[in-house]
Amino acid sequence: MNLDASVAAADTTSRDRRANAIAFAVMVALIVIAPFVAYPFFIMQALCFALFACAFNLLLGYANLLSLGHAMFLGLASYVCAHAAKVWGLEPVSAIALGVAASAVLGFVTGALAIRSVGIYFAMITVAFSQMVFFFCVEAPFTHGEDGIQGVPQGKALGLIDLSNPWILYVFVAVVFLFGFLAVQRTVNSPFGEILKAIRENEPRAVSLGYRTLQYKLAAFVLSAAIAGLAGAMKAIVAQNASLTDVSFSTSGEVVLMTLVGGMGTFYGPVVGALIVVSMQNYLAQFGEWVTVIQGVVFVACVLAFRRGIVGELAARAKISL
Amino acid sequence: MNIFGHAISMPQLYGQLLIGLINGSFYALLSLGLAVIFGMLTIVNFAHGAFYMMGAFAAYFLLQYSGLNYWWALILSPLAVGAIGAIVEQLFLKRLVGFDPLYSLLLTFGLALIIQGLFQNYFGASGLPYAIPKQLGGAYNLGFMFLPVYRGWVILASAVVCLATWLMIEKTKLGAYLRAATENPTMVRAFGINVPRMVTLTYGFGVALAAFAGVLAAPITQVRPGMGADIIAVVFAVVVIGGMGSILGSIVTGFVLGVVEGLTKVFYPEASNTVVFVIMAIVLLIRPTGLFGRAA
């Protein structure tokens, strides 16, 4: 590498860092302003899905693993958290932790089986596993089948913070979201994340350099499952219910759409994408099944003409990485 | 008989075995179509379930609006839906050649959403009845059970079409071109064979197989917009178990898993929906490339 190029590279990194700091500040500011201009419950729901999409993007964007069954982690954690809070009377933080643990275990078991396959095989295997979890949730007595778990108490986090107050709940959700978001960012920017990207670019070369690529991919899968679980468990506390929708195939599809629209392999893309998709569902709900059709059209359009997504496109225009 | 605490009667066992074979017929036709498409285009056709559903709807439309009966539908519906498939390949999938195959997977996923959403919009979620053709009504007495003629027909028709497809690919000159183009498209093009057209026709053919399964299914399951989405995950599991790209493997696995599923309904009904996925997990543990698959 000649000197000019390395100077340019160093310059880009510092520009990237500045761009990221600005983007993060803008996002935090928007989260602070949002409940005053929009329906807070809607924002909280969007934040849950945004975290879910960030978890999904960790796999697709940085390890090139397309999981088409990610709803199983969202849904299972949601059920476990709802059950723990309602039936066992656990306070919300422990209930959420249990939900996350359940998803991480599920991620380890399914990941260990799926990770040896790549590309479309991996995608098909995750579809099949999520369908299996879906049927499990239909049959298992504690999920109450079609009814789902209703009336989940919000309770007092750590026995102190009363989450039934909507403002406190909002702050709680915002903090958990930012924690999850930064966890993903930190992971991607860590040496571990660099190795994931190396595997994404050229797996045989990473193997030849002595990395146990399967273990790295499995670790990424479990981490993604756990963060998706965090989103699902938090969603159970916010919405005060857990239902079959959270574990269904359509939810798995939606998270792909969110990431694709926003921009895979970008930090802010999944957040933007989640906001768009959740808004679409909310504001277009009166059109019934047309929402599915529109989602399909957006999918096709993104894949054919807009592969970078919104944030990816913006970043490419400004020559920065977000 | 008494197994796992369930009292099991022989008629029940035969009945579920038959249902298993019927489901296996659909699994076999659908996974065969997926395997044919995968072999040539190296993509997973997520819209396969939607095309299966369109096949059933095409049969329904033919009867309702043109008065063309089941036998016409059995020919015309796969042709029409197959043609739509070929158009889809020309319009969309062709543009993604050279990109990561995940993009074409996502594209077909989006198409499936569009197709399913449209049908759900116009026909709701409930099923439309489609009568069994009168030539295939009634039942045979096999001595140990009554076999409804139509169900026997479905198994026979599926088996014949599957075997014919396999023979065509393995034994004919056209099939040889196809296999050659799968191995090395550039070389086959150099011999003056129009590979892009073969790709289009192959996709259309795979889709037509799905539509054919849809017509066979119409009198049994009713014609529903969600019928494709319900079956596609199981079909994927079948494909993973059988091994991608193996034609005969996908046929055999389809029938066998249908039967296994049917038997599970008798012996342990709670697991009947999940047994195929459990088998998939076990197969992945022992043979990650699937039972009939080669290493990728």
Q: If 0-12 CB within 10 Å is exposed, 13-18 middle and 19+ buried, where does residue B240 land?
A: buried
Helix, strand or coil for residue A38? coil
The pLDDT value recorded for residue A1 is 36
CA angle A122, A123, A127 (to 5 degrees): 115
Cβ within 8 Å, pair A298-B110? yes
Q: Strand B2-3 vs strand B6-7: parallel, antiparallel, or unpaired?
A: antiparallel
Provide the strand spans (E) within chain A: 156-157, 161-162
Cβ within 8 Å, pair B110-A299? yes
The pLDDT value recorded for residue B246 is 80
pLDDT, one tens digit per residue, over A198-236 is: 998 888 999 999 999 999 999 999 999 999 999 999 999
Confidence check: pLDDT of B108 > 90: yes
Q: Strand B6-7 vs strand B139-141: parallel, antiparallel, or unpaired?
A: unpaired
pLDDT, one tens digit per residue, over A268-284 is: 999 999 999 999 888 88
Would you list the domain boundaries of chain A?
Answer: 10-31+39-318
Q: Is A284 on the interface with B (CB under 8 A)?
A: no
Residue owning tokens 């983007």: A23
Share of chain A above pLDDT 70, in %: 96
pLDDT, one tens digit per residue, over B83-106 is: 999 999 999 998 888 888 888 889
Lowest average pLDDT, out of A67-71, A256-260, B107-111, B242-246, goes to B242-246
Give me the residue from B121, B270, B288 closest to A288, CB to CB: B121
Provide the strand spans (E) within B77-152: 139-141, 146-148
Q: Is A210 on the interface with B (CB under 8 A)?
A: no
Distances (CA, A) of A313 to A267, A317, B33, B286: 13, 6, 37, 43
The pLDDT value recorded for residue B5 is 56
**In this structure, what token pair is assigned to residue B70?**
């089941």
The pLDDT value recorded for residue A4 is 46
- What residue of B is the nearest CA neighbor of A66? B102
What are the respective helix, strand and coil percentages of chain A, to the nearest 5? 80, 0, 20
Average pLDDT, chain B: 88
With helix as H, strand as E and coil as C, how does B13-73 read? HHHHHHHHHHHHHHHHHHHHHHHHHHHHHCCCCCCHHHHHHHHHHHHHHHHHHHCCCHHHH
CA gap A119, B264 in Å, rounded: 31
Cβ within 8 Å, pair B270-A303? no
- What residue of A is the nearest CA neighbor of B234? A128
CB A238 within 8 A of CB A48: yes
Q: What is the ipTM of this complex?
A: 0.85
Q: Say whether domain A10-31+39-318 belongs to CATH 1.10.3470.
A: yes
**In this structure, what token pair is assigned to residue B150?**
């139509």
CA gap A195, A213 in Å, rounded: 9
CA angle B158, B212, B206 (to 5 degrees): 95
Task: Report residue A6's pLDDT band, with 50, 70 and 90 as the boundaries.
Answer: very low
pLDDT, one tens digit per residue, over A64-115 is: 899 999 999 999 999 999 999 999 989 999 999 999 999 999 999 999 988 9
Give me the residue from A130, A290, A297 closest to B121, CB to CB: A290
The pLDDT value recorded for residue A16 is 83
The pLDDT value recorded for residue A9 is 47
Cβ within 8 Å, pair A292-B103? no
CB B266 within 8 A of CB B8: yes
Average pLDDT, chain A: 89
Cβ within 8 Å, pair A125-B280? yes
Give me the residue from A119, A297, A299 closest to B109, CB to CB: A299
| Burial readout A1-22 (b: 16 or more C-beta within 10 A, e: otherwise) | eeeeeeeeeeeeeeeeeebbee
DSSP character at residue B125: S
User: Mutating which of B91, B121, B284, B286 best tests the A interface, going by the most A Cβ atoms within 10 A?
Assistant: B284
pLDDT, one tens digit per residue, over A290-307 is: 888 999 999 899 999 888
Cβ within 8 Å, pair B280-A139? no
Cβ within 8 Å, pair A113-B284? yes
The pLDDT value recorded for residue B15 is 85
pTM value is 0.88
CA gap A161, B148 in Å, rounded: 65
CA gap A21, A14 in Å, rounded: 11
**In this structure, what token pair is assigned to residue B28?**
């076999």
Distances (CA, A) of B196 to B182, B188, B193: 12, 11, 9
Lowest average pLDDT, out of A13-27, A180-194, A255-269, B248-262, goes to A13-27
Give me the residue from B110, B121, B274 closest to A303, CB to CB: B110
CB A57 within 8 A of CB A187: no
Q: Which residues of A touch B34 (CB under 8 A)?
A: none
CB A95 within 8 A of CB A77: no
CA gap B44, B50 in Å, rounded: 13
CA angle A250, A254, A257 (to 5 degrees): 140
φ, ψ of residue B146 to 5 degrees: the values are -95, 130
- What residue of B is the nearest CA neighbor of A137? B274
DSSP H/E element including B259: helix B247-267
CA gap B289, B296 in Å, rounded: 7
pLDDT, one tens digit per residue, over B4-31 is: 555 667 778 888 889 899 999 999 999 9
Cα torsion at A91, A96, A101, A102 (round to 10°)?
100
Residue owning tokens 């990561």: B100
Helix, strand or coil for residue B240? helix
Helix, strand or coil for residue A89? coil
CB B101 within 8 A of CB A120: yes
pLDDT, one tens digit per residue, over B115-144 is: 999 999 888 888 888 888 888 888 888 777
Q: Which residues of B touch A292 (CB under 8 A)?
A: 113-114, 116-117, 120
Give me the residue from A132, A295, A304 closest to B92, CB to CB: A304
CA gap A266, A276 in Å, rounded: 16
Q: If 0-12 CB within 10 Å is exposed, 13-18 middle and 19+ buried, where does residue B52 land?
A: buried
Cβ within 8 Å, pair B277-A298? no
Q: Which residues of A touch B239 (CB under 8 A)?
A: 124
Q: How far is A292 from chain B (nearest CA, A)?
A: 5
CA gap B51, B44 in Å, rounded: 14
Share of chain B above pLDDT 70, in %: 96
Q: How far is B66 from chain A (nearest CA, A)?
A: 28
CA angle B114, B118, B120 (to 5 degrees): 120
Segment 135-174 of chain A within 8 Å of chain B by CB = 135-136, 138-139
Q: Is A125 on the interface with B (CB under 8 A)?
A: yes
- What residue of B is the nearest CA neighbor of A290? B117
- What residue of B is the nearest CA neighbor of A260? B106
Task: Report residue B1's pLDDT band, with 50, 70 and 90 as the boundaries.
Answer: low
Q: Which residues of A touch B229 (CB under 8 A)?
A: 249
CA gap A116, A104 in Å, rounded: 18
